[in-house]
Amino acid sequence: MREMKTVRVFLKGLVIMLAVVVTIVFLLPVSVQADGLTATQIESPDLFSLSVVQQSDPEGMDVTTQAGQVSQYIYATRNNTLGFFAHSYLAGGAFYKLEIGSPIIVTFADGSQQTFIVRNIQIWGRSGLIFTRGGKNYTVAEYFAAVYTGEYHLALQTCYGDGVMVVLAYPGLRLAEHLKKAEQ
């Protein structure tokens, strides 16, 4: 009987310790966002200026329903990338105006700014939970890895017909260098 009680106490302690570890693993990246990559505004001169709201669900895909706003995607920030969602009938419609070479200026919570240059505009098909591009099918996880991981960059996503449009922009190199990379 005493052994059972000891085992139960041990298991309770183990569960508590596991809960603490899981909380640290999942919440730490969110606090990293707050420390350095939390954006308050994105703009492209002469095209748009949009305020940024933070996602309320760190594991979700909630997108603001307010005009003039984009949602900052926490998954992207966890991967050292800036990702923003907006509905195409609201702020996302402004993404359609961007072209290769367009500048995008991000203002961060600490007041600093960083300029990105549009290098690539991608159209992805979507059918349920399968994304397609270039004749290849991607799972949701593969799609998000393709768009929101890798080299530090900015990704703007909005609906486009039955799929999505993704604008990829990279930290401000000279325009000629971006155009050269875009051609590759």
Domain CATH for 43? 2.40.260.10
pLDDT tens-digit series, residues 114-166:
999 999 999 999 998 899 999 999 999 999 999 999 999 999 999 999 999 99
Residues 155 and 80 in one domain: yes
Q: Name the least confident of 8-12, 59-63, 90-94, 162-166.
A: 8-12
- Nearest CA-CA partner of 155 in 170, 134, 176, 136: 170
Q: Are residues 67 and 47 in the same domain?
A: yes
Residues 166 and 144 occupy one common structural domain: yes
Q: Is the same domain home to 111 and 173? A: yes
Contact criterion met (CB below 8 Å) for 50 and 68: yes
Rounded to two decimals, what is the model's pTM? 0.74
CA 129 to chain centre: 18
Residue 184 confidence (pLDDT): 60
Whether residues 115 and 61 share a domain: the answer is yes
56 shares its domain with 138: yes
Q: What is the mean pLDDT of the chain?
A: 79
Instruction: List the domain range (segments joined by +) for residue 101.
Output: 38-183
CA distance 66 to 70: 8
Shared-domain flag, residues 60 and 16: no
Residues with Cβ within 8 Å of 26's Cβ and at least 6 positions away in sequence, in order, are: 58, 59
Are 29 and 43 members of one domain? Answer: no
Total structural domains in the chain?
2
Instruction: Based on the fold, state whether residues 42 and 23 are members of the same structural domain.
Output: no
